[in-house]
Amino acid sequence: MAGRVQDKAAIVFGGGQTPGESIGNGRATALLLAREGARVMVVDRNLASAEETVAMIAGAGGTASAAAADVRDEAQVAAVIARCRDAYGRIDILHNNVGASLALGDAPATELTLEAFRGIVDVNLIGMWLACKHALPAMREQGSGSIVNISSMAVREGYPYVGYKTTKAGVVALTENLAYANAQHGIRANCVMPGLINTPMAIEARVAAGMPREQVVADRNRSVPLGRKMGSAWDIAHAALFLHSDEAGFITGVTLPVDGGRGVS
C-alpha cells in the first residue's frame, strides 16, 4: 500500500536533534514522513546530526538527504530550500521544527537579557518565517503545499520564561497569516502545539541546569492528565503526518494541541 505522503518532497528544518536519551520531534517527524513514502531533506544546524537521521531513514529503506543550515542566516535557508527543489523537483511539505528556550538564555522578563531575547526571536520566529518565505514561491508555482510549524503549549500555559512563550505565540500568528494569504494558491499552513514531551531539548537543558533527571521526568509526568506520563516525539510526528497528508486537505490555519489533556485540566 502507498504511504500517506507517498512520493511527496519534504524538507524538515530541525531534523537532527540535541543529544540525549530520547528522540526529538524533528527527527521522529523526518523518520515518519520517510516511512510513509516521502522523499525527505533533513536540515539541521549540525550536519552530523542531520546525517544521523538520514542514515536511520536509509536503514529503513527510505529516501533522504542531509543539509546544514543555520535558520538565522537567510542565505543558508534559501540555499537548502533551492537544493531540495533541485533534488526532488518540487516542495510538497515544509516542516519547521526549530526553537529553544533555556539553551538560548531564556528567563523571566526581569532577568532576560536583551541579547538573549533577540537571539530567541531570531531562532524561534524569524528563522521559521525565513523557511516559509523561501519555500512559498515553489509551492505557489505548483499550486499546492503543506506547511506545519511547531509552536508550543507554553503559549497557553503559565510558562515562566518570556522569550519562548512570546516567540511561540508569534509562530501561531505567523501560521494563521500564511494560511489566509496562501489558501488561494492551494497551500495549507497549520500549527502543532506540543505539550510536555520527552525530548532531549526538553529534558537535557533542565538536567544541565542542575535538576536531577529523575526529578525532571517525574515532575513532567505528574503534570499530564492522560496516562500520567509525558508524550513522546512520535506523538508530535503522527500529528504532523496527518496535517501534511491529503487526509487533512480541507484543514488550514489550525493550531493543534498535542498535550495529553493538560490544556483542558
Query: For the segment 188-231, what is each residue's pLDDT rounded down to a tens digit?
Result: 999 999 999 999 988 987 888 899 999 999 999 999 999 889 99
Give the whole-number percent of the chain exceeding pLDDT 70: 100
- H-run or E-run covering 93: strand 93-96
* pLDDT for residue 206: 84
The C-alpha atoms of residue 145 and residue 190 are separated, in whole angstroms, by 11
* pLDDT for residue 208: 85
Q: Is 80's pLDDT higher than 90? A: yes
Q: Residue 50: which pLDDT band, with cuts at 50, 70 and 90? A: very high
Q: How far is CA 55 from CA 28, 42, 108, in A?
A: 13, 11, 39
The C-alpha atoms of residue 39 and residue 11 are separated, in whole angstroms, by 8
Average pLDDT, the chain: 96
* pLDDT for residue 102: 86
Residues 146, 94: contact at Cβ < 8 Å?
Answer: yes
Q: How far is CA 3 from CA 44, 59, 63, 89, 136, in A?
A: 25, 17, 13, 19, 24
Instruction: Please enumerate in sequence order all residues whose Cβ is within 8 A of that of 75, keeping only pairs 6 or more positions apart, or say none.
Output: none
- CATH class of the domain whose range is 9-257: alpha beta
Q: Is 243's pLDDT higher than 90? A: yes
Q: Lowest-confidence range among 52-56, 102-106, 131-135, 181-185? A: 102-106
The C-alpha atoms of residue 133 and residue 244 are separated, in whole angstroms, by 18
* pLDDT for residue 142: 97
Alpha-carbon torsion (245, 248, 250, 254), positive or negative:
negative
Q: Is 240's pLDDT higher than 80? A: yes
Burial of 48 (0-12, 13-18, 19+ CB in 10 A): exposed
The C-alpha atoms of residue 244 and residue 264 are separated, in whole angstroms, by 26
* pLDDT for residue 91: 98
Instruction: Please enumerate in sequence order all residues whose Cβ is within 8 A of that of 181, keeping only pairs 6 or more positions apart, or say none.
Output: none
The C-alpha atoms of residue 259 and residue 95 are separated, in whole angstroms, by 19
* pLDDT for residue 7: 97
Which value, to the nearest 10 degrees, does the dihedral of the CA atoms of residues 161, 165, 248, 9 take? Answer: -80
Q: Lowest-confidence range among 45-49, 58-62, 179-183, 212-216? A: 212-216
Residues 170, 164: contact at Cβ < 8 Å?
Answer: no
Residues 195, 260: contact at Cβ < 8 Å?
Answer: yes
Catalytic residue flag (residue 164): yes
Taking residues 233-256, report their average pLDDT: 98
Q: Name the pTM for this structure.
A: 0.96
Taking residues 77-95, report their average pLDDT: 97
Taking residues 61-74, report their average pLDDT: 98
* pLDDT for residue 39: 98
Instruction: Please enumerate in sequence order all residues whose Cβ is within 8 A of that of 39, keeping only pairs 6 or more positions apart, or say none.
Output: 7, 8, 9, 10, 63, 64, 87, 88
Q: Which of 88, 159, 161, 164 is catalytic?
A: 164
Q: Is 1's pLDDT higher than 80? A: no
Please tell me the number of Cα atoms within 13 Å of 228 on its side-chain side.
2
Q: Which residue has the cell 520566529?
A: 125
* pLDDT for residue 179: 98
Q: Lowest-confidence range among 24-38, 44-58, 122-136, 216-230? A: 216-230
For 176-187, how does the pLDDT look when each residue is reduced to its tens digit (9 = 90+)? 999 999 999 999
What is the 8-class DSSP label of residue 126? Answer: I
Residues 179, 165: contact at Cβ < 8 Å?
Answer: no
Nine cell digits for residue 260: 495529553
Q: Is 156's pLDDT higher than 90? A: yes
The C-alpha atoms of residue 175 and residue 180 are separated, in whole angstroms, by 9
Q: Is 115's pLDDT higher than 80? A: yes
